[in-house]
Structure 1
Amino acid sequence: MTAIDLGENPLALDRQVCFALSVASRSVIGIYRPLLKPYGLTHPQYLVLLALWDRAPRSVKDLAETLRQEPATLSPLLKRLEALGYLTRERNRSDERALMVDLTESGRDLRAEAEKIPYRVVETLGMEVAELEQLHAALARVIAATGNAGAERDETG
């Protein structure tokens, strides 16, 4: 295995991946806030809708796996989206244990408006789409690596 060289100060804050990801995440989500406000949405609620616009209906379990969230974390988001009239929740007729989530007509119609949001985000960031695609690919590798590391810890820990 090749030795890892982290330079003279491996604890320098401005060199920490975790710090850069944390600040970037808060900053990018901050761009979404005013874009989502007219629809009464928070960023986590928007992510739920993105998953449902991709495929609906879905079970809460499937949504939780897709969004990498615990079902209990999703529950208040889903209740709020239901109160806004964007989705419905009901028990699966073939499996009463499963709670199914589907878009309402209003939720489906919102998609046309939401399609403008990614363009506004890219415009605000002032970065080329190719740059953002490269960043997305790198983050996907980080997510995959941390997912695998978590699984390894679970097996050994």
Structure 2
Amino acid sequence: MKAILLGGVVFLCLSGTASIGMLLRAYLPDHHLSADSKDVIKLATAVVGTLSALALGLLIASANASHDSAETELRTSVARLVLLDRVMAHYGPETEEARGLLRRMVEVRLRDVWGDLNDADQLGSSASDEAGVEPVQDELRDLHPLTDAQRSLQARAIQVSG
């Protein structure tokens, strides 16, 4: 709504100044209406237009870079979460609780970002949901690996979750 209002105000200002310019033209001396004066005004208008286009281009480039950065960060985070879940799944059934904590953490974060109209009754979240990945890391550290493969998977899971 603000964009439409701002566009309307700009349109009214431009229309008003154009109307005032047309009315004042009759009162200007002849040397202000010569071809040279018109050329200078055209040149000044072209410079303003070029600078406006440059500023708009820089603004769009900045927004695009910000979007690309956020998208890369999101993809990296999702890949790390999937890798962590897969490593914990390969460890064995001992990681079911940690995987459940990870799943709930992701659900809470998604609900916070995207919202979920079906879960409107769940206004509050538990302290473990707000703690982030630390409860998952605690669960991983509390594991007691029996084999070298499990020790390796535990170390990798802790590294990926960090």
With normalisation by structure 1, the TM-score equals 0.29
Q: With CA pairs under 8 Å and 6+ residues apart, which has the higher RCO, 1 or 2?
A: 2
User: Which one has a larger percent strand, Structure 1 or Structure 2?
Assistant: 1
User: Which one has a larger percent helix, Structure 1 or Structure 2?
Assistant: 2
